[in-house]
Amino acid sequence: MQQRALGTSGLQVSALGLGCMGMSFGYGQAHDSHEMIQLIRAAVERGVTFFDTAEVYGPWTNEALLGEALEPVRDQVVIATKFGFDIDQQTGQNRGGLNSQPAQIRQVVDASLRRLRTDRIDLLYQHRVDPNVPMEDVAGAVKDLIAAGKVKHFGLSEAGVEAIRQAHAVQPVAALQSEYSLWWREPEQEILPTLEELGIGFVPYSPLGKGFLTGKIDENTQFDKTDFRSTVPRFSPDARQANQALVDLLGRIAQDKQATPAQIALAWLLAQKPWIAPIPGTTKLHRLEENLGAAALPLSADDLREIGEAAARIPLVGDRYAEAQQKMINR
């Protein structure tokens, strides 16, 4: 597996990481922990060194899962986790808002270290920008944690240009994590140029459009009520039917390349910048292997131009989040 540098921070990760949220949160019922531990360890065996989790995934259960899975290989991997939601540190109750108060950050980090069975967090993200806490205070709190050796690198998730600049002025930001794929290209407008200017790496989550770009979802797919896609406008049956044109495009290109739509989508993303490291998630070994195959899929400049231009001509239907979730994304 090729390694990539996340900007100029010195943080090296595998070109493709593994997003672990769906193993225990967000995409239906939690999966068997033993099976997921085996999957995580299989990813390590296949060269994946970059693993993504968060306090809110559960809450807490996903961090604990990752901690158990990676404990035997801790020094071989990069673990990223996140703070920022208003979670009661005694009960684990998610109170539904944001909380990036410095005292909360410190408590969350100490608890995350215990769950992850480690003495340091390689990459600590603010999960969402908190409008009630100055970014300078957030970055200052993380800077103190870095000085204490509990955190190695600082990251932001779904932050806008102003917040990125404010944070970076206090504590250099190693990476920004935001949604980016052929069906959500908004970061190309302002985010990617800013990251390139500042030497910040980019970690796209949902690089397969929350599963839609795999070609395994259509307008007839039924989502469990515990699957957050059941509330996402872009996953309504009408939107899925309208957006099928993008999947059909990927399917045609994939057939020519003897690849899969998912591999084309990931290879396109990897080719955008050398400091991009997507984190597709999966709960199945064959999907993990399929995704990792994208890192070795060659796309020429003509291929990339064809894919990008054809995808841009397809009007996508539906917002990417329900209203309450969208309000937490501060651009």
pLDDT tens per residue, range 39-91: 999 999 999 999 999 999 999 999 999 999 999 999 999 999 999 999 999 99
Tokens of 133: 């806490």
| pLDDT value for 86 | 97
- The C-alpha atoms of residue 271 and residue 276 are separated, in whole angstroms, by 8
How far apart, in whole angstroms, are the C-alpha atoms of residue 118 and residue 148? 14
Chain centroid, CA 290 distance in Å: 18
Q: Is the pLDDT of residue 239 over 80?
A: yes
From CA 191, how far away is CA 7, in angstroms rounded? 14
Q: What is the mean pLDDT of residues 87-110?
A: 95
pLDDT number for residue 48:
98
Q: Give the model's pLDDT for residue 166.
A: 98
Q: pLDDT-based confidence at 326, cuts 50/70/90?
A: confident
Distance between CA 319 and CA 91 in Å, rounded?
A: 33
What is residue 55's DSSP assignment? T
125 is an active site residue: no
Catalytic residue, chosen from 27, 57, 125, 180, is: 57
User: Which residue in the block uniquely carries the two structure tokens 């908190």?
Assistant: 130
Residue 331 has pLDDT above 80, yes or no: no
Distance CA 195, CA 173 (A): 9
pLDDT at 4: 98
- 108 pLDDT more than 80: yes
In this prediction, residue 275 has a pLDDT band, given cuts at 50, 70 and 90, of very high
Structural domains of the chain in order of their starting residue, each with its CATH number: 3-208+261-298 (3.20.20.100)
Q: Is the pLDDT of residue 312 over 80?
A: yes
Taking the CA atoms of residue 58, residue 206, residue 38 and residue 43 in that order, the dihedral angle to the nearest 10 degrees is -140
Q: Dump pLDDT digits (tens) for 159-186.
A: 999 999 999 999 999 999 999 999 999 9
